[in-house]
Amino acid sequence: MTTPSGFPQLQYTQEHTAVGLAHPALGLHARERIEACAQAVRQRFARPIDVAIILGTGLGALANEIEVEATIEYEALPNFPLSTVESHRGRLLCGTLGGKTVIAMQGRFHRYEGYSLQQVTFPVRVLRALGAGTLVVSNACGGMHPLWQAGDLMLIADHINLLGDNPLIGPNDEALGPRFPDMSAPYDPALRILAREVAAAQGMTLREGVYVAVPGPNLETPAEYRFLRAIGADVVGMSTVPEVIVARHGGMRVLGLSIITDLCLPDALQPTDLADIVRVARDAEPKLTAVVRGVVERL
């Protein structure tokens, strides 16, 4: 189906809109929807989860490190959104990594796909309900720090939300988290120390900085990059922040890692496209994989 302009229109079945555009807030029945989805996962993979992992654009190969015991397509999960981005596979990988029980999302969701932030973050609610106390989020991003290079790995120390929305807006269910969650340390300091130790032990350069989330889907203009750099951001992307907000709302510890896939220096800006971004992300992925595996092993 296409719109009058010729662009494809997202298709939603009734069960996949249960947390959808018609339900902009958590609502009164959020726990029921979360539990229904979690129960569907338990029917395929019954063990409580230690660590949840969200894999970003071009970063799906970390899945090869997981001893997979069950693969669950998003389409098989009630209330779960569906991936529409070509570089996101759209499945859960359940198994073991570094001696810990994990579930990895091979494909995430974005506001620019037409999803609300409640939809974008619904999987984090489900992962929390499955027992995950730690969330590892990864992404591909544009680098605005003038001394960093494409292919560098950055540890997220903090973030800025410029999405124009927040997944916690609306009625709050105290059983899911507090009305006003603290965000003084959204990215767990102890996990960041572990990540730095793992990188140092392997002789790896690990940058550390601030991630800013923007709606997308277009890349930014030179003036926008100047603005984002001026307000304190080192890298820019279109994901991660909503998931981290909801994870912290639910009491999860968070580790965030970014692969810088392109340089966003306004006075020397070069055109880029998705193919270039995915290629750089995949070339740098062994570094990300090594850090994530090393941290998970030490938990």
- Confidence check: pLDDT of 22 > 90: no
- Indicate the pTM of the whole model: 0.89
- Confidence check: pLDDT of 288 > 50: yes
Q: Tell me, what's the pLDDT at 30?
A: 85
Q: How far apart are the first and last CA of the chain?
A: 47
Q: Tell me, what's the pLDDT at 84?
A: 66
- 217: preceding bond cis by omega (within 30 degrees): yes
- Per-residue confidence band for 276, with pLDDT thresholds at 50, 70 and 90: confident
Q: How many C-beta atoms lie closer than 10 Å to residue 231's C-beta?
A: 10
Output 273 or 210, whichever has higher pLDDT.
210
| % the chain with pLDDT above 70 | 87
- Alpha-carbon distance of 234 to 217, in angstroms, equals 19
- Confidence check: pLDDT of 24 > 70: no
pLDDT, tens digit, for every residue of 106-151?
Answer: 989 999 999 999 999 999 999 999 999 999 999 999 999 999 999 9
Enumerate domains of the chain plus CATH numbers: 15-298 (3.40.50.1580)
Could you tell me if 53 and 136 are in contact, meaning their C-beta atoms sit under 8 angstroms apart? yes
pLDDT, tens digit, for every residue of 179-196?
Answer: 999 999 999 999 999 999
Q: What is the mean pLDDT of residues 243-267?
A: 97
Q: How many C-beta atoms lie closer than 10 Å to residue 43's C-beta?
A: 11
Query: Which of 42-46, 55-59, 84-88, 136-140 is least confident?
Result: 84-88
Give how far Cα 121 sits from Cα of 105, 166, 247, 258, Å.
12, 10, 9, 19
Question: Among candidates 93, 72, 94, 75, which has minimal Cα distance to 83?
Answer: 75
Q: How many C-beta atoms lie closer than 10 Å to residue 205's C-beta?
A: 12
Could you tell me if 260 and 150 are in contact, meaning their C-beta atoms sit under 8 angstroms apart? yes
Q: Tell me, what's the pLDDT at 171?
A: 92
| % the chain with pLDDT above 90 | 77
- Alpha-carbon distance of 264 to 225, in angstroms, equals 7
Could you tell me if 11 and 89 are in contact, meaning their C-beta atoms sit under 8 angstroms apart? no
Please report which helix (H) or strand (E) contains residue 10, including its range: none
**Both tokens of residue 58?**
């071009």
